Amino acid sequence: MYKNGIVAAHNINAIDMKMDDTEIEGNKRRKLQLELNSELVIQYLNENPDFLENYVLSHVNQERLQRWTAWKEQVRRQRHGENLNGEIIPDRKATLSKWKASMHSKKWSLLQELTRDIHTHSNKAQVLAELANCIATATSADGHNLYLVDDHQQQLLYQKPNNNNKCELVSSIIGSPRLSSTLAGYVASTAETVRTGDILADDRFPDGLAVGGEKCQSVMGLPVIKGDGTLTGVIELYRNVGGGIFTLEDEEVAISMVMWADICVEYVEMYNCMTRQRKLNDFLLAVTKSIFQDIVSMDTVIMKIMNYAKKLVNADRASLFLVDTTTNELYARIFDTGKVDENVPSKEIRFPMDKGVAGHVASTGEVLNIADAYTDRRFNREVDMQTGYRTKSILCMPIYIRGSIIGVVQMVNKLNGTFTKSDEESFETFAIYCGLALHHAKLYEKIRRSEQKYRVALEVLSYHSQSSDEEFTSVKTIPVPDKIVNITHYHFSPWAVTTMEKPIYVLYMFRDLFGQVVSMRENEKRYDMDSLIRFTLTVRKNYRNVPYHNWDHAFSVAHAMFTVVKTSKHKFTPQECLALFVACLCHDLDHRGKTNAFMVKSASPLAAIYSTSTMEHHHFNQTVTILQNEGHNIFKYLSPEDYKRMLSDIRSCILATDLALFFGNKAKLKDIADKNELIWEDYEHRNLVMTLCMTACDLCAMYKPWNTQLDLVFVIMEEFWQQGDEEKAKGITPLAMMDREKKHELPQLEVGFLVGICLPCYDLMTQVLPETKPMKDGALANMKKWKQLAEKPREEVEKDLRIDSSERRHSLIQYGEHSDDSSDSSEKNDETQEGDTLATDGDTETRSANSESPSRNDADDERDSVVDSLNEKYDEENVTPGD
């Protein structure tokens, strides 16, 4: 009753302010005289009901009228002794607690409704928003604001309804919860309830409310705290000017209802957790079925993992980097373009494990959840600058298998906000399945590679075998000469050496090179001649009968390397010289007469084992296989360290014969040579020179005298044309150089090959090893000839090139014709080669580039003739290998 009187008096006073000055002064005097009190105000209102009605209709809002009606009903029940259900209770004195319970019944009913409908709210923000709305209604607030603290306790987020969907909330950053210049910030930093009668006059909050508050006067701030003491958010309640101030009773009501928030939020989070877990279980089941039912390759598994990872945390892009433990690097070859289900295989990228966000995770095993990538020092901005893509948030997590990190998955840019703790937990479970999938994919790939190797091994074993005892005995009975005239001349023709002579020449060169190897102890053996014989004969047997890449080619390349080693002023170690020679002798072992590209296109088992430099890897593996045969290890007297380095050098040299690697090696060495920075003591520099020498010797046919080179080109092209014929039979259009129908274009193709590959190679060889200039001169002379043919009409070219294999001439250098290696007269070669003949006897078939190895039955028959032939050419004087 007393409160109603005060309100009425306050309202009358407000009406009086609208009267003119005369009336105001009169009223003031009248009030002073009558000593205005609540009884008089009540009396006035009773006497003037129309005035009260007009005032209420004009100045009191609907919410306040409803609150007055509720209060009146509660008072009526209390006076009549009724409980909340309208039942009559014994008349007794109402205590203060009973009165408060009665007054707050409507407020608790709001909480009951909230509890019943809590399952309809999908997240913490919506529950707290509904609770804040209930508290505002219960405390007769004119409005309210809700702020939530982010998961990292770094930002205060204002929650407001979405304009498009009122059931959804939109977050906007207000600032750090530690900033207390606003009432919300003060409550968040102190975790205390604040109630003020005039927000603008309160010095504690110089910035007032963080959002709105232009008309508000009385404000109450309530911290929402979990059971563990963690701050969840802040609820602001305010009343506008003229709406009264919040009382202690309002504060008690609000606090009691906020305490209910912890239970509600915990229930919602538990419900959401169970829902997420169920969805995660379904998701992981689908992942398991998809990945483990379709393990075709590592790339397939990686693409599926990236696609599923994006869906799991709603990320824009994903990356998966695998760990290379041998080099301590991260590498990836599948990249997410941001398009749906599109991951593009690309060139493999590698970077150190200590670089970037992914490198940090791979090195430390720490999970990184970065809300703003550009504020993190570990983030590499260069990728964004190159791609134009803007990285905002990052979630990066390691993938373990058996306690070791095998990879890193990196999620970029969550589509709705930043990555949450829930995302981390879900992704951590998903990472376990990723590890299992990658591990099984690796095992599957190893098994598949083993099967392919097994197939290759069976194929090789079915075709090849070791040299026979008869072959070994026949060669061993032939003495290795002390000197072979002109063997170190660049114009020496290896194709003039007969099939049975070639092993003897190889043994001669082996003995010379092994003689330079320094023994660990004085008088210690450096090599075993029996092992050299077996090794040489087995290498010969492991070359297939293909037109060009056969034993004759291997012998010619090995001879070219021997010439370079013996004539140039290099600084290779004796072991490196030996490695170069063995690599040349074995660089095309088991060659099938087909290019690497053909092996890949035809789905050869070799291509499944070696994705790059297919045949070159196979050649090296065949070399090692032969060395492992009993009685074939020609390096058995080397120390373990020298043996390991020897195999490493041989492997590097054989792989260098892949022309796809030539250009990169040449560019590095040329840059060093142009700057005059070649240091022979530097192993890396020597290795680059070794790779260049391998290419130069592999192309030795291109600098030989014209007639020899012309014949060899036809042999090479015959092998190419056979591949082209097979490609045509399979419906594949061959390259022009592989097409037999385009043989008239051969001169142009040869000119292009000489200009694009051979001459740049020999130019650099001359720059690094000037003594090898005859290689360059011979190539230049042959290019002139090919250019002349290229300028002729098609009919003349076809006529000049229409030479049957049976009539093919082999203009080979006669032994002893050149007195020294300085002979670079290409013109002389052109004039004299036509009439050159061999100093040895034997039919032309035996000396042709297509010659076949003799059968076992022919070995004994040829032995005597070979001895006689060699005796005519070898100098009988005792000359040391060094001479």
Alpha-helix residue ranges (DSSP H) falling in 569-658: 574-586, 596-601, 605-609, 614-628, 640-655
3-state secondary structure of 159: strand
Active site residue 549: yes
3-state secondary structure of 377: coil
Catalytically annotated residue among 360, 491, 549, 559: 549
The C-alpha atoms of residue 199 and residue 813 are separated, in whole angstroms, by 109
The C-alpha atoms of residue 810 and residue 846 are separated, in whole angstroms, by 11
Which helix (H) or strand (E) element contains residue 195?
strand 194-196
The C-alpha atoms of residue 695 and residue 690 are separated, in whole angstroms, by 9
Give the contacts of 720 (CB within 8 A, at least 6 positions apart): 737, 738
Token duo for residue 505:
């020449």
> How many CB atoms are located within 10 Å of the residue 861 CB?
11
Q: Do 501 and 487 contact (CB within 8 A), yes or no?
A: no
The C-alpha atoms of residue 657 and residue 616 are separated, in whole angstroms, by 7
Q: Do 139 and 248 contact (CB within 8 A), yes or no?
A: no
The C-alpha atoms of residue 724 and residue 220 are separated, in whole angstroms, by 88
Token duo for residue 853:
């190895």
Alpha-helix residue ranges (DSSP H) falling in 492-633: 501-514, 529-541, 551-567, 574-586, 596-601, 605-609, 614-628
Give the contacts of 240 (CB within 8 A, at least 6 positions apart): 142, 143, 215, 216, 217
Q: Do 331 and 350 contact (CB within 8 A), yes or no?
A: yes
Q: Do 532 and 510 contact (CB within 8 A), yes or no?
A: yes
Question: What are the two backbone dihedrals, phi and then psi, of residue 4, each rounded to the nearest 5 degrees?
Answer: -65, -35
The C-alpha atoms of residue 831 and residue 452 are separated, in whole angstroms, by 53
What does each C-alpha distance from 192 to 83, 114, 153, 208 come to in angstroms?
A: 36, 25, 17, 17
The C-alpha atoms of residue 789 and residue 778 are separated, in whole angstroms, by 17
CA atoms within 13 A on the CB side of 413: 11
What does each C-alpha distance from 249 to 85, 105, 255 come to in angstroms?
A: 24, 14, 10
Token duo for residue 478:
């032939």
Dihedral over alpha carbons 160, 165, 167, 169 (to 10 degrees): -30
Question: What are the two backbone dihedrals, phi and then psi, of residue 351, each rounded to the nearest 5 degrees?
Answer: -155, 155
Give the contacts of 86 (CB within 8 A, at least 6 positions apart): 77
List, by residue number, the catalytic residues: 549
